[in-house]
Amino acid sequence: MIPYPIRNQFRHTIGQLDMPPRLLLGPGPSNAHPRVLQALGMRQVGHLDPAFIKLMNEVQDLLRYAWQTENKLTIPVSGTGSAAMEATLANLVEPGDVVLVGVNGFFGLRLVDMAGRYGADMRQIEKPWGEVFELDELKTAVAQHRPTILALVHAETSTGACQPLDGVGDLCREHDCLLLVDTVTSLGGVPLLLDEWQVDAAYSGSQKCLSCPPGISPFTLGPRAVEKLSRRKTKVANWYLDMSLVGQYWGSERTYHHTAPINMNYALREALRLVAEEGLAARWQRHRETAVYFWQGLAELGLDCHVAEPYRLPSLTTVRVPDGVDPKAVTGRLLSEYNIEIANGLGQLAGKVWRVGLMGFNSRKENAALLLAALREVLA
């Protein structure tokens, strides 16, 4: 034995890993598809192995399908959704750039915080949480602020609102502005056509409608965004997320940047393979049908949705907490008695709504039926 003064106060003996069988119907993570969990545990190869490089190409193409984009720079970022969010800003923002963010929920505020750290001249327009921006409101704001980047949240995970993007791409092109869109809670579950809508930069998460565990996150930049990146006068102020380097590993050069999360890429491949098998049209339809079934059930329980129907996300529903009900007592009982996770409101909506996700593999009638039955009992 080597005579080092080893201390054992933290050398705990702990048991084999076990986790309760939760049904994850909150805003994410949602339960991974069983096939995805199986892929996750596949034996490893190196991050420059020919077998892994083949997988990288498959992941990139299937991401392009899921997002409906031809963007070359479409890759998974080696972190959770917030890392991909930050990657879009870190790469596109140079100090002094005017960035206009539509803030109608928690994740709009996060965009403001992040972009500010990269030296952006931040501008905001605001709407009450749960509402969306009209095209005319965006037109006025863009004309007034003349931003370099307009950032909108397509699917606000904190409010359950779906921001329409019709006409926004044209607006941004008229004003030579990049359109950056948060698709964390829409990719793979909600109609989303990046190229058709002329979105220049987008990011998402793996653990929402893609039914993959968190830890890897879709990221894409279109040609106009890549051009801005290539014209930067300053280094990207974030080494790990610097796409001028990461892009070389995912591009034809295959230059080592950081070790890719091998097994998370296995899982994402399987999740995207499931999307391609099902097809986007069928998948969007399934999410819609499950949501409509759930909304009808809520109405029968006398519960109201926070978001007006035309803008309501099928993947994430905010349910208003009835007067006199303690929202945390309800989520606590759902978890402890039924093994069902739903979430409480965040930020402005804390205490006012519950957040229910019916995403990816979890977007099935039986899950909605079970939650409705449990809610009926708990609220009785």
In whole angstroms, how far apart are CA 235 and each of 29, 91, 112, 217, 307? 33, 9, 21, 23, 41
Nearest to 163 by CA among 182, 143, 177: 182
Tokens of 37: 């969990």
Q: Which stretch binds its own copies (CB under 8 A): 82-90, 97-105, 220-228, 366-374?
A: 82-90
Radius of gyration of the chain (CA): 22
Binding mask 36-75 for its own copies (x = CB under 8 A): -xxxxxxxxxxx-x-xx--x--x--xx-xx--x-x-----
Q: Is 370 in the site for its own copies (CB under 8 A)?
A: no
* Inter-residue contact 69 to 222 (CB < 8 Å): yes
Nearest to 343 by CA among 135, 144, 111, 185: 185
Site for its own copies in 262-291 (CB under 8 A): 262-264, 266-267, 269-270, 273, 276-277, 279-282, 284-285, 288
Taking CB under 8 A as the criterion, the residue among 104, 163, 207, 315 binding its own copies is 207
Minimum CB separation of residue 166 from its own copies in Å reads: 12
Minimum CB separation of residue 140 from its own copies in Å reads: 29
Q: Which is nearer to its own copies, 7 or 233 (CB)?
A: 7
Q: Which is nearer to its own copies, 43 or 233 (CB)?
A: 43
Site for its own copies in 5-34 (CB under 8 A): 5-14, 17-22, 24, 26, 28-29, 31-32
Taking CB under 8 A as the criterion, the residue among 215, 218, 247, 327 binding its own copies is 215
* Inter-residue contact 201 to 178 (CB < 8 Å): yes
Report DSSP letters for 230-281, one per residue.
Answer: HT-SS--S-STT-HHHHHHHHSTT----S---HHHHHHHHHHHHHHHHH-HH
Helix, strand, coil in percent for the chain, rounding step 5: 40, 15, 45
Q: Are strands 340-341 and 23-24 parallel, antiparallel or unpaired?
A: parallel
Q: Which is nearer to its own copies, 36 or 150 (CB)?
A: 36
Minimum CB separation of residue 323 from its own copies in Å reads: 26
Minimum CB separation of residue 40 from its own copies in Å reads: 5
Q: Which stretch binds its own copies (CB under 8 A): 115-123, 175-183, 298-306, 348-356?
A: 115-123
Region at 255 (left for phi over 0; alpha for psi -120 to 50; beta for the rest): beta
Binding mask 319-358 for its own copies (x = CB under 8 A): ----------------x-----x-x--x------------
* Inter-residue contact 358 to 317 (CB < 8 Å): yes
Minimum CB separation of residue 315 from its own copies in Å reads: 15
Report DSSP letters for 148-217, one per residue.
Answer: SEEEEESEETTTTEE---TTHHHHHHHTT-EEEEE-TTTTTTS---TTTTT--EEE--SSSTT---SS-E
Site for its own copies in 162-201 (CB under 8 A): 191, 193, 196
Site for its own copies in 220-239 (CB under 8 A): 235-239
Binding mask 134-163 for its own copies (x = CB under 8 A): ------------------------------
> Residue length, the chain?
380
